[in-house]
Structure 1
Amino acid sequence: MADINPSAENVRAMLTEALGRLRKANADYFELLEKGLASSPLPIAGQARELCSLMQRNVTASFDLGEKLIQAKDVPDALKLQAEFFQDQMRAMTDQARTVGESAMKAAGGMFSPKT
């Protein structure tokens, strides 16, 4: 049976490796999704690509938080990182809601404009 050494550094190394694999799988997924959307004949493909980009930024921010938490020295440090992440995500959500709203208004406006 293999020796199991649950030292903090070994746990950090295993978590870092797992997070790296998750990042790669995530990047592959979004690459495939973007390729599918790029070849889509649907009229809302542009908006879908925009939403895909927003999702990708949010997931990347979560992975970045994971990396920071792996390196946290103690619980107060981890709580500080989590609070900063939450504040950043709330700001990003506000900006993203504005962007999506503007995009939806443009799309809806195009539906009602006269065709010439």
Structure 2
Amino acid sequence: MAEINTSAESVRALMSGALERVRKANTEYFDLLERGLGSSPLPIANQAKDFCTFMRRNVGATFDLGDKLINAKDMQDALKLQADFFQDQMRALTEQARAMSESAMKTAGGMFGPKI
């Protein structure tokens, strides 16, 4: 029985290490993307940066879920973690959609408003 537990711990350690490497690569990708957006002359560059921030947050939350699932005690714990994640993501999506539509309305208003 000790072999099974040791084996499970080995798998958890491998999964945690792999998840950490993917998380690091993801961080580097978003850093590069944000630098590229920062140098963009496009008028929607600010909205693109906001969208990138939202993507970074959402992907980070997914990695956090992965960390939690790797350490789940049993299937019931894993299902609760997934349900909580889903609810949190729905709340975040609602807030992000509101923020993006406000930003788009400001940008559109600036494009079609009076020129002073």
TM-score with structure 1 setting the length: 0.94
Tell me how many residue pairs correspond in the alignment.
112
Correspondence for 1:55: 55
Letter in 2 for 1:42: L
> How many percent of aligned residue pairs carry the same amino acid?
69
Correspondence for 2:102: 102
Q: What is the CA–CA distance in structure 1 between the aligned matches of 2:6 and 2:22, rounded to whole Å? A: 22
Question: CA-atom RMSD, angstroms?
Answer: 1.2
1:111 offset after TM fit, Å? 1.1
Consecutive unaligned residues in structure 1, runs of 5 or more: none
1:55 offset after TM fit, Å? 0.3
Q: What is the CA–CA distance in structure 2 between the aligned matches of 1:47 and 1:96, rounded to whole Å? A: 12
Mapped pair 1:85 → 2:85: yes
Q: What is the CA–CA distance in structure 1 between the aligned matches of 2:24 and 2:59, rounded to whole Å? A: 12
Q: What is the CA–CA distance in structure 1 between the aligned matches of 2:114 and 2:48, rounded to whole Å? A: 25
| 1:15-30 → structure 2 map (5 Å cutoff) | 15-30=15-30
1:24 offset after TM fit, Å? 0.5
Structure 1 runs (4+) greater than 6 angstroms displaced: none
Correspondence for 2:31: 31
Letter in 2 for 1:35: R
- Residue deviations 1:8-62 (CA, integer Å, cap 9, x gap): 1001000000000000000000000001001111111000000000000000000
Letter in 2 for 1:94: T
Letter in 1 for 2:113: S
1:6 offset after TM fit, Å? 7.4
SS for the counterpart of 2:52 is: helix
- Residue deviations 1:37-94 (CA, integer Å, cap 9, x gap): 0111111100000000000000000000000000001100000000000000000011
